[in-house]
Amino acid sequence: MVAVDAHNLKIAYGDTLIVPDLSLTLYPGEVTALLGPNGSGKSTVLCTLARLLQPNRGAVYLNGRNITKLPTREIARQLAMLPQSSEVPDGVTVWELIGYGRYPHQNLLGGFSTQDLAAMRWALKVTRLEPLAERVVDTLSGGERQRAWIAMALAQQTQVLLLDEPTTFLDIRHQLDVLSLVRGLNREHGITVGWVLHDLNQAAAYSDRLIMLTGGQVVAAGSPAEVMTASTIQEVFGVEMTVIPHPISGSPTCLPCNLGSSTSGFTPCAPKDYSLKQQGEQGK
Ligand SMILES: Nc1ncnc2c1ncn2[C@@H]1O[C@H](COP(=O)(O)OP(=O)(O)OP(=O)(O)O)[C@@H](O)[C@H]1O
Ligand SMILES: [Mg+2]
């Protein structure tokens, strides 16, 4: 099982400092969610863990080895990353995109081995993309395209999976599919997962650890019960929530306290009192 450690990362885009000094660990065989408001630096941190971005200071270690010292191919055999947004070259089909995930495993002669093809078929199946295998990725719906990218990352069959908002664009069934698929891979194969999720309840239900970020800094890190508290949510997101145990699983679940307090001034309709209405109707 593989650990990812980030030590004292300082990350800037040009002169704009995004992450002043951040350390975190994705523990081997655990699922860790990075949470935080838009612009808090989640994607920036995830890209740095995957060596897609170079920190100005600090270092990332993959199982104790500094990733700047590792050949790209070796990193790609151990770590797959689903970026928040990616462009597909024109005309590439779902099957071809999934095949890109096998490049780190191919020998110099190229071509897909039996093992490559088995991994690609498996990735196609578990993302329910079999009927779309021959479709050009550009012609897919947002959710179908997202699943094609997830399939590519899965086909890479790495010990570490970094997923930036893998459930965005997906309907609820496919969201749950992806969350339980990744959780299942983690349980069965000890894959270390770091994912960015915006749904706090899904993050708490499907992760071992949560890391809450704001302004490029870690505000809280620990088990869902430790991190998902009303006061941390208030501090990080500036909204008042109540946290209750999920009625079936018991995982911490947050609900807005006051639907009418939005800054937009929107006040939802008052719940209709159907019992009174019915009585009134009966009395007519
Ligand atoms: N290439 C870039 N050049 C300059 N600034 C950038 C660049 N990419 C991101 N930023 C800025 O860095 C900050 C952090 O961005 P990042 O994408 O990491 O946030 P995030 O937490 O992933 O947000 P979101 O939830 O919206 O995806 C933001 O203020 C963003 O505008
Ligand atoms: Mg992001």
DSSP at 111 = S
State residue 110's pLDDT score.
73
The average pLDDT across 107-131 equals 90
d(CA 30, CA 28): 6
Mutate to test the pocket of ligand 1, among 10, 11, 13 (most ligand atoms within 8 A of CB): 13
Question: What does the pLDDT read at residue 217?
Answer: 97
Give the model confidence (pLDDT) of 192-203 as tens digits: 999 999 999 999
Instruction: Check if the beta carbon of residue 50 is closer than 8 Å to that of residue 80.
Output: no
Using a 6 Å cutoff on CB, does residue 214 contact ligand 1? Answer: no
Rounded to the nearest integer, the mean pLDDT of the chain is 90
- The neighbour count for residue 26, using CB atoms within 10 Å, is 25
- pTM of the entire structure? 0.89
Q: Residue 25's pLDDT is what? A: 97
From the CA of 39, how far away is ligand 1's center (Å)? Answer: 5
Backbone dihedral region for residue 247 (phi beyond 0: left; psi -120 to 50: alpha; all else: beta)? alpha
Please tell me if the CB atom of residue 16 comes closer than 6 angstroms to any atom of ligand 1. Answer: yes
**Which residue from 10, 11, 44, 167 has its CB within 8 A of the most atoms of ligand 1, so it is best to mutate?**
44
Centre a 10 Å sphere on the Cβ of residue 211 and count the other Cβ atoms it contains.
25
Q: What are 126-174's pLDDT values in tens digits?
A: 999 999 999 999 999 988 998 999 999 999 999 999 999 999 888 999 8
Structural domains for the chain: 4-223 (3.40.50.300)
Atom of ligand 1 nearest to the CA of 216: 14
Burial-class residue 189 by CB neighbours within 10 Å (0-12, 13-18, 19+): exposed
List pLDDT tens digits, range 238-275: 999 999 999 999 999 999 987 665 555 555 555 555 55
